[in-house]
Amino acid sequence: MDRVLWMDEGTKVRSGFRKSHLLWFALLTLFLIVSSLFFVWSRIQTIQLGYEISNALKEGRALVETNKKLRLEMATLKSYARIERIATEELGMSKPRPDQVIVIR
């Protein structure tokens, strides 16, 4: 009878020992799963931000190129030779005579 009681008590202790190990194993497994998911999520975010940066740089280069073209067009449109040609040919203007020029200081 002593043996049976002793085995019953040992079995109870052993059962509690198993439950605590099972709890720690479950917590460790949960921690590993959560940390793995966080790692994967952070890598996906990094890749997505890389794509966004690449698209922004591409758009920036396109805007710089458009700016260069517009500056060249503005310089062409403001050239004195072009303005003089339009004034004489399309608007029928002529160069003023010296007595028509008034210098303002």
Distance from C-alpha of 96 to C-alpha of 78, rounded to nearest angstrom:
21
Domains in the chain: how many in total? 1
Q: Is residue 46 part of a domain?
A: yes
Cβ atoms of 93 and 87 closer than 8 Å: yes
CB 64 within 8 Å of CB 70: no
Amino acid identity, position 9: E
Residue 87 lies in a domain: yes
Query: Average pLDDT over the chain, rounded to whole?
Result: 88
Q: Is residue 74 part of a domain?
A: yes
pLDDT at 5 > cutoff 80? no
Whole-model pTM over 0.85: no
Under the banding of pLDDT at 50, 70 and 90, the label for residue 29 is: very high
3-state class (DSSP) for residue 102? coil
Domain that includes residue 68, residue range: 2-100
